[in-house]
Structure 1
């Protein structure tokens, strides 16, 4: 596929507004693109206007490799603050602007094109699956659905094209979101004794939970991922200053590690709330709103090593050169902040979660590599953009990675 066609595909994807939904339009676009190139695909409905896409190519016996990316994007925020409209896919000075240019329609497009080219060349052995998911940004919804339906049961390795270009991610923390609500009894603030202050009860719960997990974080650590973290991020309660509030709630996020599993954390929070409800006559309730497990795979896996070997042969994808090109886009020298250890690409562990948390929740034996084009410092921000050369380079890199891995 020539450069112009590749850029047109990325532009088309950026122009489709998939802010936390509407992925069906992207899935249909990819289905039509694959069909034009002789590849059948399947759409798995998630909800109205939302569907995952799965396509397979096979060439004899061998490993099964998944190529995966998500179709949704986060909100662009105040569109008037953007230099160019966020869904126009504006191109200037060989840089494409728009929501999803980095996270992660460039990665999804590059994988899809590499998948098509691999199907044409048939220079591989085994099975390759292309999976495009819904709802990664709001809970990895599509990946969870497809995993529960058995679409990754036969998988040996997964390559996810999230915007991670300075290293190959083989492990990341989990993410647990939960909400605690407090019910009280309203009263006038001049007679607080006849009410039950939901805010004060919630404050007690916040304090005890926070102290508990400060200690737990000291007790558990992971050599690659470090310590778990617990952060209260949203607090709501009360309606006016002279009224005892009858309702309050907080939301929190826990970045989890394998040594202290998500379910154990949930149970410990529930125990604290149950004790306060019994001892203090509070009415506290917990709701889990997102639950992604930590992921830990082999940093020396065949897939990770294959990526490292391919990048060594493509100097423009070496971290120092990527930092130079991305710095030129941002108008500053990013290499001044680059650790010397990043002069060559290497395996790395990160705090952020990916669809791998769902794909691998029951499969610790899967080889994982998260590696893709992007400007990570612009993810979820105004004026998200990407040098087109990086996008084109990643298409070539993916083709080499797929062929090398599937022929080892």
Structure 2
């Protein structure tokens, strides 16, 4: 995306269950590595397991970042690798984690906390990416246009804040008149039950079409 590019209004297509999204949490991706001398599984009290060190780190992090709401910080470990033989203590291992944090929180503060935990559990960690959270006013043109369009269809409009991230986190740089909207339930995303209702798609298209007509006159 060119830095000089600007947009008047943006509607990001996302599964918001026909709610108008005004905020998304930020995201931090990290890789955690552990190294030990290993040992034999018959005498774990003599050797040292890289997997055990990773598990200690994971337990502390999951306790620290156990949020379940938009305004809280949460963490999910998505990949864990360690060991190459059934009766050997792993000499090395790695884990990947995704921390989600709300607007108003400084990612540098979170990373300092993670660094302290990594030091105390004797593991190493690397920051893979940091994506800032986003929040816009309900009075922005894009949000208001969608809300009015929903009302025109005799539906009750909903303003929502999302715990994940979307292109809205990035595209806020080229327009403050931005929102995310679309059919589909994001709670089913990346599951075996992910689906979308055709009637919802048609309704969403009508809402977006009416909103775009209004925005073209702003």
Same fold by TM (over 0.5)?
yes
Work out whether 1:298 is the aligned partner of 2:114.
no
TM (normalized to structure 2)?
A: 0.81
Work out whether 1:346 is the aligned partner of 2:153.
no
Q: Is the 8 A contact 1:182 1:248 kept in 2?
A: yes
Q: Is the 8 A contact 2:23 2:162 kept in 1?
A: yes
Equivalence for 1:176: 28
Match of 1:266 among 111, 122, 130: 111
Equivalence for 1:356: 168
Matches for 1:131-210 after TM superposition, within 5 Å:
146=1, 149-150=2-3, 152=5, 154-190=6-42, 192=44, 195-210=47-62
State the shift of 1:250 in Å.
Answer: 2.4
Q: Is the 8 A contact 1:228 1:254 kept in 2?
A: yes
Tell me, which stretches of 5 or more residues in structure 1 are unaligned? 1-145, 277-281, 319-343
Q: Is the 8 A contact 1:375 1:386 kept in 2?
A: no
Q: How far apart are the structure 2 equivalents of 1:398 and 1:235?
A: 41
State the shift of 1:167 in Å.
Answer: 1.4
State the shift of 1:302 in Å.
Answer: 2.3
Tell me, which stretches of 5 or more residues in structure 2 are unaligned? none
Aligned length: 217
Q: How far apart are the structure 2 equivalents of 1:245 and 1:251?
A: 17
What root-mean-square deviation, in Å, do the aligned CA atoms of Structure 1 and Structure 2 show? 3.0
Bigger Rg over Cα:
1
Work out whether 1:399 is the aligned partner of 2:209.
yes
State the shift of 1:290 in Å.
Answer: 4.3
Richer in helix (by share): 1
Q: Is the 8 A contact 1:179 1:251 kept in 2?
A: yes
Q: How far apart are the structure 2 equivalents of 1:373 and 1:171?
A: 17
Q: How far apart are the structure 1 equivalents of 2:163 and 2:8?
A: 24
TM (normalized to structure 1)?
A: 0.47
Q: Is the 8 A contact 2:9 2:141 kept in 1?
A: no
Matches for 1:213-252 after TM superposition, within 5 Å:
213=65, 225-252=70-97
Q: Output one character per residue of 1:288-307: Cα deviation in whole Å (capped at 9) or x when no partner.
A: 34432211110222221111
